[in-house]
Amino acid sequence: MASPMPRDDPIVEEERRAHTATDLLRMRLERLQQNINKPAPIPARRAEIKPPRPPPEFVRNVVGSSAAAGSAEYHIYRINRKKEQNRLDYIAKVAETEELDEEYRKHKEEIERIEAERTAKKRAKRQRKKERAKRRRMVKNENSSDESSEDSDDDEGSINENEETSEKKTECDEERKESPDHDHIENVPQNEETGEKKFTCEEQRKESSDPDHIKEEVS
């Protein structure tokens, strides 16, 4: 009786029904999602430079019995020369890799140093700019406060002058009412405390109406 034909793997049969590469990837992802606890095999990364195999142990004092005596010496020499060349090539590749890594490390450190110096320079420049702006604002505030104080002093001075002129006018009006026939007094008395002469109302009016006096007050 003939044995039944072996059937293929169901996974392979399922993948054969995939029409495109997208369908094949979808089937494989669905199969992996059915058993998510199963660890996925991750192949290890192969070494870029594979070291050569260590040389085998040779028995130098024994000659093979095949062919003539010493006929295998050349082949042994050729194999040893090839292995030695592989070893030298491996040493050269390792040295070149280490040199390139050292050069890359120095280049990276140089770039980081230049960037750090540039950043520190820009930071110091920004700090100086902020300090100048701060000093400028402080000077501006001081000037504005001085101007406001001067304006207030001028306003107070003008108010005091107006009060003094109004008082003088009232005094002159009272004197005029008391002595309407006399415009001014010939003998001007002196102040007892200061020794200065007291001006009459008429002279004060003339002095206030004098254009030179007005110009001096304006200036």
Q: What is the pLDDT of residues 183-217, one digit of tens each?
A: 444 444 444 444 444 445 555 555 555 555 544 55
Domain boundaries, given as residue ranges, for the chain: 76-179
Q: Are 185 and 197 in contact (CB under 8 A)?
A: no
pLDDT, residue 207, reads 53
- Encoded tokens for 102: 């050292």
The b-or-e profile of 49-79 (16+ CB within 10 A means b, else e) is eeeeeeeeeeeeeeeeeeeeeeeeeeeeeee
Mean pLDDT value of segment 93-119: 94
Please give the C-alpha separations between residue 7 and each of 15, 31, 179, 191, in angstroms, as whole numbers.
15, 20, 149, 143
The angle, 0 to 180 degrees and rounded to 10, between the axes of the packed helices 73-178 and 201-209 is: 140
Choice between 74 and 164, residue whose per-residue pLDDT is larger? 74
pLDDT confidence band for 79 (50 / 70 / 90): confident
